[in-house]
Structure 1
């Protein structure tokens, strides 16, 4: 980490492998959209010798963002794995989308990784969503480092960005966020901008010059020494403060020159345990060059400073029925415990599962137990089955390089697991386990879909089920009240990608239609109804007469039916027929076509005919009586109301509360929820929050999150109800 000379890269086209967990590093790249994560992945792969030219594997396809949707949008929309090898260490680089709609892919990457590399653009700074992910990583003790990109931008300032990172990420300890290198600037051009052509190693006190397209090491010039001294002293003090050697600070303050190897060792240990967060700089290689600025230094940090899989605590496990099991260890000889972190489809191979192996060894063609995963409410059924693993491979762009096995700590792709979905646990069929699930974001943006044609209708169900199996951040709902098929997504971009995948991958064309909210109707006041169904058309006729009383009940009461007939005016065998007719009419609605609820219907009188009365006739009479009772009184429309909790940065609380009020919401309280965060609690009609997932993100600059839960149905304001009735009438 700054004291090494150029390292020999691996051979392009050869799959990176590891024979022991300690030779593996799993790192996830985190950063906002446009920060340069994918470009950085390609630069690291080029520097490590995994590819021969920027962004391309040997078959000419792209290394990252090779999915057709990603290419058309020029944006990462899914988690991708790029394995490289450096100094005998296999580095699994997990590239994640930066756009908030694809936070589910980010969460999967965090689950699969042992350390996080935060990618920050020198020209754009740190956004709110990146700060939130940093806090999430801090909460679980995940080691983190920072790399600054886009140093070529005219307004890029590495020193200023390092200071911003120290304030933003360092919290109460800004000296835990310090640079390991300083940028070396070349001669300024006509615009006055001096490009970064190399790095100054603070610990090694060496210059690493990239100006000629290669990495050349040399001693610093005299003018660099004052700059190095100030930053180096601060870095050494920061490292010593994290050292486990309590004598080191006293020796340093006494004027002892601490050995660089000692400092590097303490630095690597501090980084691995997540107490120190180095800042580096990186840029892609120039045309024809092997090394991009800072790529060697970054690979050295990952290989030397990031933790090995055995150094990280593994997720808790139980038996599938919930009984506790001893904690796992990252041991290839231990019990098999692996987790599907991503599921995707290959047009030739079929379903492929990206698997993180936490314990044991996974082998092709063996039978494993699939357990999971507590997301039945999203259309993902729980699994408790045995399946045979197909071929194991390592992804590299579109290629799948065959592997003989996968060991604890590694990431592999497993083919032909037809039942396994994202989040499921793979274990031995003789010793089944279930891993504690990771946090999945709740999809809160609904889109109602319908098949575009009869041919699409035949394939719709299968296509949707495969789609939600791949993406646990979607939820499939067959709404019995509105009779709509609803896909719940994380945002508009997520929705667009989901529908595009449905069309392109599964050949199902759907049309998005307005999402309907499940309204209800009820009587505003008591009323009476007379139902007369009398017809004579030759042979047996139809004869049934009934009189009912209807009165409203408290919310949530449903429909009560009471028999108060005396003297046998309605024969006993036909009283259930009247009730059946009343309930059928209530289900169809009486004013705007929404189900009728919260009423008591009392049958008080009626008439029958000894020959012409029948079950069907009294059903019809019951329905007619209910419609007549509704004709002369006020019928209220009831709308569902949700309890909403909004977590937002303090500076946006006022805007959020004002927006909620504008949605006919009632703010019921606020609570402080950690430093700089407020939880706003409100009750809002569901009709007003269909797009709230999108609007809140805009309102809070990406920092707001919310949850919703059904509370009750309550009467809709008269002016809103009037518009609903007009729409229903026009539709009829």
Structure 2
């Protein structure tokens, strides 16, 4: 099919685990003529869940992309994972679409993942659609669910179609008003949504009030509807049954007629090198701007960089640059991802989602462009949850250290919430992810794909250090070895900054007592000391260092002398500035059966947690919100499983750092002293 940018629709399916996103993805592909037989999650035959881990576990782990060609539009559809453990790939897909369709389980109603995806899509300025799935299942009370959605997310949530005949049929109520549904008349629903749509556009509202609905053209209704979506004034509610197909064609028709195309969505938040907003338009004739939102290490075609084209046209044999690099690469092969297969294409226009292969330098969130003169353009970063769970690991078999490093690098390229760290002082490699399940899946992938097995153990908690007061420090470095000596003297002061401020280095030297070329050496020494810690061996943060005086020797002063003087003057000042150890505090959300609330809240209280509140869900489930020190949650997966019989689940997000209790600081400091003395 030949199409232009105005014919493209980019939609991500998101939502809570178990809402039926993958089954709906299959149903949409089947209705769109992409596949002849609809696959099954239970049988492991779906187009999107192709990874062996996905098939074994029966749920999505990564996102999957497929295109649907209709008579009047081309739909790029992205199926995403519902489990919070794999949220990284889900959120990454938001950088490629204009619309997020949040799938809601008609039986379970509003769940944790429903809220999170609605928040994140709104935060990104994306159009949102609530897709109520499983409408034909026994126990689905759809009228009550619509009321709950409107109460939770606002009165802008309105049905654009309604179920009938027990979920066997779906009737449009935006363009039509006649008919009876399971819980509301089409006329009532039609009037509510029409009133919501026309009130945002003065011209359309005037026409409607003066001459009535009949005088409004489909084009006027489309423009007003699209404006409502773009401004968050309307969140359509659509009903489907991915199992029996009810509402699936209606959802495709909604995408075709009413959802925003790439020229209608909110402008993407591109920034220049100074982080100032810049205009990027969906003009195929302008120079290329594309954003890489997904990396796939494919065993057959090599490393794939999957990108969304925002401006310009990418053709085979085009030369592109990565970020602000000056070394171009040639687009030898250009692919469209179609779930399980990669289809080679000649060009990608604004709005297209495509991929290039075998470009080792390409990375997640890279901006591709074709201009030698282009400044550093980047897309405003998505807000990903911090990977707080850690495992220290080493290869099970000797001689596989290099192989392990390469495997971890490949896995971290694919998942923005999976990270690898190496702590030199401990000679310890640590991987971090969003949960124990997240890390377990990554280790299983590493064994399966790269043949690397590992031994794991708990890592050190990511404590930090800072200071609570002001102090001054001084050190004179003087060394004579027979020839030219070493000399450097530094006076500096330290002061605390607000939590999360990082580090500031200030040059307040006057009169040339320290020549300017030695200031970077002093800063280098300070940073070395900050990495090593001053109380318990953890990196220092949230402080300002001001160098205000010193001395130098015209012959003996060298960079190495001022590195040493800066380091020791800094440690001298920190030792007098009431150094403290900070611990990571995480936001905890625990979803449990109501019958377990006493055990779970009591267990959290015993871990120095602060209970912030509870929220009752449909089906007798309770969500407990708390803040707790990460150090206290090392064994929490096992404990929660034991308390709830495996029915509890939880998620963590980094909130902030705060001082550890004094006994804990003493314990950490005492454990560090023998190592310092040994060194």
Quick check: TM above 0.5?
Answer: yes
The alpha carbon displacement at 1:143 in A equals 1.1
2:356 is equivalent to residue 405 of structure 1: no
2:164 corresponds in structure 1 to 184
Superposition pairs for residues 332-343 of structure 1, below 5 Å? 332-343=284-295
Partner residue of 1:716 out of 664, 670, 674: 664
Unaligned regions of 5+ residues in structure 2, if any? 478-528, 530-535, 541-578, 614-622
1:102 corresponds in structure 2 to 86
The alpha carbon displacement at 1:314 in A equals 3.6
Alpha-carbon distance in 2 for matches of 1:344, 1:327: 29
1:395 corresponds in structure 2 to 337
Q: Helix, strand or coil: the match of 2:256? A: helix
Bigger CA radius of gyration = 1
> Comparing 474-483 with 145-154, which one deviates more in the overlay?
474-483
Superposition pairs for residues 502-541 of structure 1, below 5 Å? 502-517=446-461
The alpha carbon displacement at 1:402 in A equals 0.4
Q: Could you give the per-residue CA deviations for residues 153-210 of structure 1, whole angstroms, max 9, x where no partner exists? A: 210122222221111121xxx1x2111222111xxxxxxxxx422123324447xxxx
1:144 corresponds in structure 2 to 128
Alignment check: 8 A CA contact 2:26 2:46 kept:
no
1:500 corresponds in structure 2 to 444
The alpha carbon displacement at 1:313 in A equals 3.8
Q: Helix, strand or coil: the match of 2:323? A: strand
1:482 corresponds in structure 2 to 426
Superposition pairs for residues 86-97 of structure 1, below 5 Å? 86-97=70-81
Alignment check: 8 A CA contact 1:641 1:710 kept:
yes
Partner residue of 2:59 out of 75, 87, 106: 75
1:438 corresponds in structure 2 to 382
Distance 1:478 1:556, change over 3 A: farther
Q: Helix, strand or coil: the match of 2:294? A: strand
Partner residue of 2:263 out of 277, 285, 310: 310
The alpha carbon displacement at 1:89 in A equals 0.7
Superposition pairs for residues 130-529 of structure 1, below 5 Å? 130-170=114-154, 174=155, 176-185=156-165, 195-205=166-176, 220=179, 227-244=185-202, 245-248=204-207, 250-251=209-210, 261=218, 263=221, 266-284=224-242, 286=244, 292-318=245-271, 321-322=273-274, 326-371=278-323, 385-428=327-370, 430-432=372-374, 433-435=376-378, 436-517=380-461
1:706 corresponds in structure 2 to 654
Q: Helix, strand or coil: the match of 1:505? A: helix
Superposition pairs for residues 562-601 of structure 1, below 5 Å? none
Alpha-carbon distance in 1 for matches of 2:108, 2:25: 19
The alpha carbon displacement at 1:385 in A equals 4.8
Q: Helix, strand or coil: the match of 1:333? A: coil
Q: Helix, strand or coil: the match of 1:246? A: helix
Alignment check: 8 A CA contact 1:132 1:703 kept:
no
Q: Could you give the per-residue CA deviations for residues 125-158 of structure 1, whole angstroms, max 9, x where no partner exists? A: 1113321321232234321111111112210122
Aligned-pair RMSD on alpha carbons? 4.8
2:77 is equivalent to residue 119 of structure 1: no
Alpha-carbon distance in 1 for matches of 2:463, 2:373: 49
Unaligned regions of 5+ residues in structure 1, if any? 1-16, 186-194, 207-218, 287-291, 373-382, 521-552, 564-586, 588-593, 599-637, 672-676
Q: Could you give the per-residue CA deviations for residues 518-553 of structure 1, whole angstroms, max 9, x where no partner exists? A: 899xxxxxxxxxxxxxxxxxxxxxxxxxxxxxxxx9
TM-score (norm 2): 0.71
The alpha carbon displacement at 1:248 in A equals 4.5
Aligned length: 558
Distance 1:38 1:714, change over 3 A: same
Alpha-carbon distance in 1 for matches of 2:78, 2:274: 31
Alpha-carbon distance in 2 for matches of 1:480, 1:227: 68
